[in-house]
Amino acid sequence: MSAALEDLVRQTLCVISEGELCRKATAPEGWPQSKIQSLDQLNACADRAVAQAMRLILIVGEEELSRSLQLLNLKKEVYPQFIFGVLLVSKDPKNFLKKQGLPFHVLDILSDKEAKSQLDYFLLKSLRPQGISQGAGTKIIADTIAKLNSIFFCFSQEKVQDKLFEKIVTKAIEFGECSAATLFILKEQYSESYFVSKVFGELNTPLEIEKKRIPVFENSICGYVALTGKIHTLFNFQTGNSLVPGNYNRSYDYAITEGVDSIITLPLKNSHNEVEAVLQLIYKNDPNKVTGKRKTHFDFEDETLWTTFSTQAGICLESVELYADVQGLFEGFVRASVKAIEARDPSTGGHSERVAKMSVGLAKAVTESEVGTYRSVKFRDEEIRELEYAAMLHDFGKIGVREEVLVKAKKLHGSQLTGIKERIKICKAAAKIHLLENKLNSSALLHPKLELDYQKRSQELDHYWQIIQSSNSPSILKQEGVVALERIKRESLLLPDGQTISLLSDEEYQALSISQGTLTPDERLEIESHVKHTYQFLKMIPWTRDFKNLTEIAHCHHEKLDGTGYPRKLTSHQIPLQSKIMTIADIFDALTAKDRWYKESVPLEKATEILCEEVKQGKLDEALVEIFIAKQIYEHTILMPFNRVA
């Protein structure tokens, strides 16, 4: 007989009625037993079973069945933890079953001959997991299933690995009323297995978490379970009923001391039947004891129960790991996308990450706010992550803008400036030719005047070139510059074929006349189209439920509350709150960024003044700007480098 079965036999009281059909029945050696002749004696046996937390199996004839069941059921009502079952002895079991079926709490029916010769078989059969518990333990099983379902639902909701590890340990202790539990996380690298994390907990004490890589060896219980994928139960350490290896290494396992009676160690497997972790439980408290709790041993029924627990926990571990892998893959995609954007527009290196950090910081500050307009707004972690990714990708549409417009640092494109320079050279050459022709056709007395006229013309053209270069910078164009450009625009060049061309084309004149910045109206519209490109790109991605609003948040980051934004000219109630948050972060970073070579950064005080002015004009959300400034959200990026992308 196995050690587990021996434990069950010792915990089961065999009561044999001395009625006509059962008189010759005798319990096998080793079974706690008692023979009775009356209901009073049966009641006394039931009291003994309750007091000693034992199961009770009654062997009784069919003529005594009804009154015996009535007494035992009354006892069950008083002591719900009382577990009992009945082996019914009948002269004609087949006929009895046809007439009455198998009554509740009756585990099996046997003939008087079987009761005399095979009682040991039927007693052992009644101890199977589906035996004595089937009747007396129906409510206990239902409660257990309900608890397991609740635990699995709790596991399935968790998406953070470390939190799931803690929940597995905590719920295992609660569910089994164990004295302690340890979870070992298993990883494989270069064909070798390692425990990389350990979560340990004891009943009613805080968890201990240790992250340390330890090689897995088979000469420990945890190592054996991790490498073989088999459950291991140390049923009764004190009596020597165990399968501990001869060269046992205790370094992984719970310290086996005098106070430890029983240990069960379980593999937590994924859907590929690979071990993800090992869960070790230390003894347990007996739920059937009437008063108080005591340490006792795991039995083979526990193996079935805990296998169910470990199977579901293993599947949840795999799900969380897959979620983390997808999350890592997505984050990698987002950061690679940002790198691609910034590689095309080096002047905004780091902009997306800074906007994301400030957006997240402002969203968290809004969540923590207990007063003001947004005191009832509490962003969930998933919503904050959605905002972060939207901010990281808000400028991805720039990938669809022409590079010469996207990186335009001067008002004129390089080819335009080169063309103007060549025309000025031609003008100078034409003036020189004109001088030489006049010298040939005039007296020597006029040569000094002709030379002076040439010098003036040459100096005038040089001055034009200086004005063009000065006007080409993104600084604010003053009135005198406007007048000078108009004069240059009127200059024309006579070609050898008699035609004339302007020194400045209409397009070049329009570009140089830009009062501030470097973009023409058409180019500004092209830059603004990046928002539409962002939307077109992001809407093609099949976002998960957590990121269902990401595309719309990014699409609205240039909208203003008064409807003057772009591209859709939305008003306040049409703009998502997350977009309003991102808009503030985007404007602030554009003002203060130190890595944009086409403009100087604005000091912090001036930048906050500009935000407040935008509030006065009804363009930005007043409550959000107040929180942004009061909580100094910009500090989230103060230590971040302003990197240009090579």
Instruction: Write out the E strands in 476-582.
Output: 492-494, 500-502
Which of these three, 121, 136, 151, is where a domain ends?
136
CATH number for the domain that contains residue 225:
3.30.450.40
Q: Answer yes or no: do 388 and 418 share one domain.
A: no
Count of Cβ atoms closer than 10 Å to residue 38 Cβ: 10
Question: Are 284 and 258 within 8 A, CB to CB?
Answer: no
Residue 629 within a domain: yes
**Which has more pLDDT, 430 or 608?**
608
Asked whether residue 184 carries a pLDDT value surpassing 50, the answer given is yes
Which of these three, 491, 518, 545, is where a domain ends?
518
For position 638, what pLDDT does the model report?
54
Q: Is the peptide bond before 603 cis (omega within 30 degrees of 0)?
A: no
Q: Answer yes or no: do 502 and 440 share one domain.
A: yes
Question: Are 288 and 190 within 8 A, CB to CB?
Answer: no
Neighbouring-strand partners of residue 55: 12
Instruction: Write out the E strands in 475-525.
Output: 492-494, 500-502
Q: Answer yes or no: do 113 and 201 share one domain.
A: no
For position 259, what pLDDT does the model report?
58
Q: Where are the alpha helices (DSSP H) in 369-478?
A: 381-392, 403-406, 414-440, 447-471
Q: Answer yes or no: do 480 and 592 share one domain.
A: no
**Which has more pLDDT, 81 or 377?**
377
Asked whether residue 394 carries a pLDDT value surpassing 90, the answer given is yes
Asked whether residue 136 carries a pLDDT value surpassing 80, the answer given is no
Residue 335 within a domain: no
For residue 563, which phi and psi values (nearest 5 degrees)? 85, 10
The model's pLDDT over 570-613, given as tens digits with 9 standing for 90+, comes to: 999 999 999 999 999 999 998 988 766 666 788 999 999 999 99
Residue 11 within a domain: yes
Q: What span, in angstroms and rounded, lies between the C-alpha atoms of 549 and 559?
A: 16
Q: Answer yes or no: do 287 and 397 share one domain.
A: no
Count of Cβ atoms closer than 10 Å to residue 11 Cβ: 20
Q: Answer yes or no: do 370 and 316 share one domain.
A: no
For position 631, what pLDDT does the model report?
92
CATH number for the domain that contains residue 532:
1.10.3210.10
Which of these three, 465, 487, 518, is where a domain ends?
518
For position 241, what pLDDT does the model report?
44
For position 495, what pLDDT does the model report?
65
Count of Cβ atoms closer than 10 Å to residue 22 Cβ: 24
Q: Answer yes or no: do 568 and 607 share one domain.
A: yes
Asked whether residue 492 carries a pLDDT value surpassing 90, the answer given is no
Q: Answer yes or no: do 493 and 539 share one domain.
A: no
Residues 6 or more apart whose Cβ sits within 8 Å of residue 405: 519, 523, 526, 527
Enter the tokens of residue 147: 């608890």
Instruction: Write out the E strands in 20-83.
Output: 33-36, 55-61
Element (H or E) spanning 553, and its range? Answer: helix 550-555
Q: Count, in order, helices (H) and strands (E) of the chain.
A: 24, 15
**Which has more pLDDT, 292 or 247?**
247
Enter the tokens of residue 329: 């893959």
**How many domains in the chain?**
4
**Which has more pLDDT, 596 or 465?**
465
* Mean per-residue pLDDT, 509-537: 88
For position 642, what pLDDT does the model report?
40
Q: Answer yes or no: do 422 and 505 share one domain.
A: yes
Q: Report the sign of the C-alpha dihedral through residues 520, 521, 524, 526, in that order.
A: negative
For position 137, what pLDDT does the model report?
46
Neighbouring-strand partners of residue 285: 295
Residue 340 within a domain: no
Q: What percent of the chain has pLDDT over 70?
A: 86
Q: Is the peptide bond before 641 cis (omega within 30 degrees of 0)?
A: no
For position 354, what pLDDT does the model report?
92
The model's pLDDT over 335-359, given as tens digits with 9 standing for 90+, comes to: 898 888 888 777 677 889 999 999 9
Confidence of residue 167 (pLDDT cuts 50, 70, 90): very high
The model's pLDDT over 143-153, given as tens digits with 9 standing for 90+, comes to: 788 888 999 99
Q: Answer yes or no: do 383 and 532 share one domain.
A: yes
For position 109, what pLDDT does the model report?
87
Which of 20-34, 38-52, 128-142, 185-199 is most confident? 38-52
The model's pLDDT over 251-292, given as tens digits with 9 standing for 90+, comes to: 566 655 445 667 889 999 998 999 999 999 887 555 554 444
Question: Are 188 and 213 within 8 A, CB to CB?
Answer: no
Residues 6 or more apart whose Cβ sits within 8 Å of residue 586: 355, 394, 557, 558
Neighbouring-strand partners of residue 267: 278
For position 127, what pLDDT does the model report?
76
For position 63, what pLDDT does the model report?
86
For position 41, what pLDDT does the model report?
94
Lowest average pLDDT, out of 14-18, 109-113, 253-257, 560-564, goes to 253-257
Q: What span, in angstroms and rounded, lies between the C-alpha atoms of 35 and 44?
A: 11
* Mean per-residue pLDDT, 65-81: 88
Beta strand pairing call for 500-502 and 492-494: antiparallel
What angle separates helix 138-157 from helix 300-344, to the nearest 10 degrees? 10
* Mean per-residue pLDDT, 362-369: 95
Query: How long a stretch of residues is the chain?
Result: 646
Give 156: exposed, middle or buried? Use CB within 10 Å, 0-12, 13-18, 19+: middle
CATH number for the domain that contains residue 121:
3.40.50.2300
- Domain span at residue 440 reads 414-518
Residue 302 within a domain: yes
Question: Are 485 and 470 within 8 A, CB to CB?
Answer: no
For position 219, what pLDDT does the model report?
77
Q: What span, in angstroms and rounded, lies between the C-alpha atoms of 436 and 620?
A: 66
Residue 333 within a domain: no
Q: Answer yes or no: do 314 and 376 share one domain.
A: no
**Which has more pLDDT, 419 or 133?**
419
Residue 184 within a domain: yes
Residue 206 within a domain: yes
Asked whether residue 617 carries a pLDDT value surpassing 70, the answer given is yes
Enter the tokens of residue 57: 């199996």
Question: Are 28 and 260 within 8 A, CB to CB?
Answer: no
Asked whether residue 134 carries a pLDDT value surpassing 60, the answer given is no
End-to-end alpha carbon distance in the chain = 76
For position 240, what pLDDT does the model report?
45
**Which has more pLDDT, 4 or 340?**
340
Lowest average pLDDT, out of 95-99, 235-239, 380-384, goes to 235-239
Q: What span, in angstroms and rounded, lies between the C-alpha atoms of 531 and 534?
A: 5
Give 111: exposed, middle or buried? Use CB within 10 Å, 0-12, 13-18, 19+: middle
Beta strand pairing call for 106-111 and 263-269: unpaired
CA-to-CA separations, 1 to 9, 28, 34, 133, 427, in angstroms, rounded: 10, 13, 22, 21, 114
Q: What percent of the chain has pLDDT over 90?
A: 33
User: What is the overall mean pLDDT for the chain?
Assistant: 84
Lowest average pLDDT, out of 73-77, 97-101, 303-307, 418-422, goes to 97-101
Tell me if residue 264 falls in helix, strand or coil. strand
Question: Are 180 and 173 within 8 A, CB to CB?
Answer: yes
Q: Answer yes or no: do 630 and 498 share one domain.
A: no
DSSP per-residue string spanning 613-633 = HHHHTT-S-HHHHHHHHHTTG
